[in-house]
Structure 1
Amino acid sequence: MKNTETKQQHLAYGWNHDWENKLAQLPASSRLLSPARVIAQHSHSYQIMTPDGEHTATVTGKYEFNAVLKSDFPAVGDWVMAEKLAGETRSVIHSLLPRQSVMIRKAAGGAVDDQVIGANMDYLFITNALNQDFNVRKMERYLIAAWESGAAPVILLTKADLCEEPEAFAALMESAAPGVPIHLISALQDQGKEQLLPYLQAGKTIAVTGSSGVGKSTLLNWLAGDNIMETQGIRENDARGRHTTTHRELFLLPSGALVMDTPGMRELQLWDAHDGLEQAFSDIEELSAQCRYRDCRHESDPGCAVLQAIEDGTLEAKRLHNYKKTAKELSHLARKENSLAKKAKKAAGSSPRKNEHRAKTDVWDYD
């Protein structure tokens, strides 16, 4: 089916004029294919929403060969150009339309590679439960990745019914998330849904992320008004959740909004997120501009506005420590990436296939 014959079901998954403009910029040969949105990703295949409905899909051999990083492969939320196989509900993916936003983390393990959490989100709901797992420092890391993604971060403090003073926790989070909306909610008690309605507009895409046990699947069921996701309880000894979601998937809500559920992460390892670091710690960046010396290390330098803010109580010392620690981590990762890139470039001349070490669609590792 030609792209001009896009059906209403296809439009429901977020196709709009912006994507039409991206499509118009592709070579004429690409326009013979159909745009489709990736709505689920499995170990060796994808589920995509095409103008003809839902199809199972795989990437072409050429696509696989040309991919260098895991993030080069399609991810949930992506728009791809696909070719329908005659007489079947299967397609092959030829290319990826340029992403409007993408949340990426470093893949688990020692290898220097990336992993896409979700693509083309308008909002990123970062969830943290108001129980023993509440952790401001962990949320700062999520905010770095969120700002780097290009999506607008929104913090949801879930399970507010389990907390005697939820407003006090919200205040703690506000100090660590300048300019980010924060909402107290309880899906089980049906509290706070009205605060989320402005985000749940038709055609908007929201990714929900956070650690296991914060109530992501319960939140999704609550927003959908139906049990579309399996849920499990938390372990009583440490308030940590069991893993319920095992893959990323995009769901269409009754409101017309699209919500992406993601597996809980034990650890969020950042990837190429220097801009996100500056935005997540914008308060420290602004204070740094007021320091006497441009290269102030915020340790014992005279005229340090950052240390003065800690002394007068307007900045938490732990927040500065996390800022420095994360900046050091990102610099170390950048050096490893540069070293790896040089080795890959050197080996490319002698290797007939630059990525034959990569499994065909081994693009996810689930925590």
Structure 2
Amino acid sequence: MNLDLLGWSDDLALSLAPFAAQSLQVGRVARQHKQLYTLYTEGGEFAAEISGKFRYQVQRTEDLPCVGDWVVIAATGQTANIQHLLPRHTLFSRKVAGATTDIQLIAANLDSVFLVCGLDDDFNLRRIERYLVMIWESGARPIIVLNKVDIGEQIEQRLLDLEAIAVGIPIVQISALHDQGLDALNPWLQPGQTVALVGSSGVGKSTLTNQLVGEQVQAVQAVRADDSRGRHTTTSRQLICLPSGAILIDTPGLRELQLWTAQTGVSTAFNEIEALAGHCRFRDCQHQQEPGCAVQAALGNGQLEIQRLQSYQKLRKEKAYLHRKQDQKAQINTKARWKQITKSMRQRDKWQ
């Protein structure tokens, strides 16, 4: 396989240089099933596991490989051990579903993310805002793909609503089922470019994947008639090489969109509110009833909608709560590590 078509870059080559004298190879993670990986390399497809040394060195879940990552491997036959993870330039992730405070890695080294939204009854502006926060936080470029234009209603109004919350983000209208409008996606599907498809179940990601590949590689199912909600037809993430030379990563629908990091994503996705906040009288303005609040003034004159502000405030609260939970977890992990170190030292002293 050609590494350039898999997304190899000069920056990655520099990161690989320290391993040049060790007769190691490089590969890109195409699929993952628990602790087993499928890699694409210049020598073909490899089945791989993480080496014991690498696993011992890993301190955090985000330091483990995921689909889209570049890894350094020691290969024997068509199997390999993953020795190192090369630096990522983007990472799309979320908090794991449920109450557990941990990260779920979705895909790495993305150039663009197609946020696929169905123009049926499942269209939801607030969900789109949350997805945009996650995409901006990943470091990749968002492109909104409005699917099902053949059955969509109120399309013009929905476009106006989207343009108000996604200023400057490209919006493409397609019908994946009828292969309509897909040529408009070509600027982001150039050779060596990596694109992920994200969106709720039933929006048409699998159908779009099949159209871009030119054959049926993903199963598809009809959405429910009563609410246009879909079923999980894609159950795992995988890297797919397109005829155009681009790399596509299809992802399962995400029913829970809990943030994991939001250092810049909220500010970027709600940049008009952040800009207004810069004109508030008080630097710590909460945009409630404070005098001289530019955000409240914008609400009053119709420049800003209340639903948009409420979404912004909700995500900021979620971000603050998440940081507190992550700090608590870090403190617990540090305490556990020191407890284990102290125990090991006592056992060593006992036997000396």
What is the alpha-carbon distance in structure 1 between the residues aligned to residue 59 and residue 23 of structure 2?
26
Report if aligned partners of 2:136, 2:268 keep a CA contact under 8 Å in 1: yes
Counterpart residue number, 1:22: 15
Counterpart residue number, 1:70: 61
Report if aligned partners of 1:80, 1:95 keep a CA contact under 8 Å in 2: yes
Counterpart residue number, 1:113: 102
Counterpart residue number, 1:56: 47
What is the alpha-carbon distance in structure 2 between the residues aligned to residue 238 and residue 331 of structure 1?
33
Report if aligned partners of 2:5, 2:192 keep a CA contact under 8 Å in 1: yes
Report if aligned partners of 1:221, 1:228 keep a CA contact under 8 Å in 2: yes
1:212 aligns with 2:201: yes
1:246 aligns with 2:239: no
Counterpart residue number, 1:13: 6
Per the TM alignment, residue 27 of structure 1 is displaced from its structure 2 partner at its CA by 5.0
Matches within 5 A, 1:38-53: 38-53=29-44
Report if aligned partners of 1:10, 1:53 keep a CA contact under 8 Å in 2: no
Amino acid in structure 1 at the alignment position of 2:74: E
Offset from partner CA, 1:290-323 (integer Å, 9 cap, x none): 1122111111112211112122222111110011
What is the alpha-carbon distance in structure 2 between the residues aligned to residue 68 and residue 162 of structure 1?
49
Counterpart residue number, 1:236: 225
Per the TM alignment, residue 249 of structure 1 is displaced from its structure 2 partner at its CA by 0.2
What is the alpha-carbon distance in structure 2 between the residues aligned to residue 199 and residue 52 of structure 1?
27
Matches within 5 A, 1:189-200: 189-200=178-189
Larger CA deviation: 185-194 vs 128-137: 185-194
Per the TM alignment, residue 12 of structure 1 is displaced from its structure 2 partner at its CA by 2.2
Q: Cα 1:352–1:108, aligned 2, differ >3 Å: closer, same or farther?
A: farther
Unaligned runs of at least 5 residues, structure 2:
343-352
Counterpart residue number, 2:347: none
Amino acid in structure 2 at the alignment position of 1:49: Y
1:34 aligns with 2:25: yes
Amino acid in structure 1 at the alignment position of 2:229: R
Per the TM alignment, residue 352 of structure 1 is displaced from its structure 2 partner at its CA by 6.0
Report if aligned partners of 1:130, 1:162 keep a CA contact under 8 Å in 2: yes
What is the alpha-carbon distance in structure 1 between the residues aligned to residue 30 and residue 103 of structure 2?
20
What is the alpha-carbon distance in structure 1 between the residues aligned to residue 128 and residue 50 of structure 2?
35
For the residue of structure 2 that corresponds to 1:256, the secondary structure is coil
Counterpart residue number, 2:165: 176
What is the alpha-carbon distance in structure 2 between the residues aligned to residue 28 and residue 34 of structure 1?
9
Report if aligned partners of 2:133, 2:269 keep a CA contact under 8 Å in 1: yes
Counterpart residue number, 1:259: 248
Amino acid in structure 2 at the alignment position of 1:227: Q
What is the alpha-carbon distance in structure 1 between the residues aligned to residue 165 and residue 256 of structure 2?
19
Q: Which one scores higher on RCO, CA 8 angstroms, separation ≥ 6?
A: 1
Of 312, 315, 318, 2:301 maps to 312
For the residue of structure 2 that corresponds to 1:351, the secondary structure is helix
Counterpart residue number, 1:339: 328
Matches within 5 A, 1:283-298: 283-298=272-287
- Runs ≥4 in structure 1, deviation > 6 angstroms? none
What is the alpha-carbon distance in structure 1 between the residues aligned to residue 303 and residue 180 of structure 2?
32
Number of residues of Structure 1 aligned to a counterpart in Structure 2: 342
What is the alpha-carbon distance in structure 1 between the residues aligned to residue 59 and residue 255 of structure 2?
26
Report if aligned partners of 2:120, 2:153 keep a CA contact under 8 Å in 1: no
For the residue of structure 2 that corresponds to 1:124, the secondary structure is strand
Amino acid in structure 2 at the alignment position of 1:83: A
Report if aligned partners of 2:89, 2:109 keep a CA contact under 8 Å in 1: yes
> What percent of counterpart residues are identical?
45
Counterpart residue number, 2:214: 225
Report if aligned partners of 2:35, 2:50 keep a CA contact under 8 Å in 1: no
Per the TM alignment, residue 351 of structure 1 is displaced from its structure 2 partner at its CA by 2.1
CA RMSD of aligned residues (A): 1.5
Amino acid in structure 2 at the alignment position of 1:10: L
Counterpart residue number, 2:70: 79
Counterpart residue number, 1:358: none
For the residue of structure 2 that corresponds to 1:206, the secondary structure is strand
Per the TM alignment, residue 10 of structure 1 is displaced from its structure 2 partner at its CA by 3.1
Unaligned runs of at least 5 residues, structure 1:
1-7, 354-367
Counterpart residue number, 1:3: none
Larger CA deviation: 135-144 vs 178-187: 178-187
What is the alpha-carbon distance in structure 2 between the residues aligned to residue 167 and residue 17 of structure 1?
43
For the residue of structure 1 that corresponds to 2:65, the secondary structure is coil
What is the alpha-carbon distance in structure 2 between the residues aligned to residue 69 and residue 137 of structure 1?
31
What is the alpha-carbon distance in structure 2 between the residues aligned to residue 84 and residue 164 of structure 1?
54
What is the alpha-carbon distance in structure 2 between the residues aligned to residue 139 and residue 175 of structure 1?
12
Per the TM alignment, residue 16 of structure 1 is displaced from its structure 2 partner at its CA by 2.6
TM-score, normalising length: structure 2: 0.94
1:123 aligns with 2:116: no
Of 155, 162, 166, 1:166 maps to 155
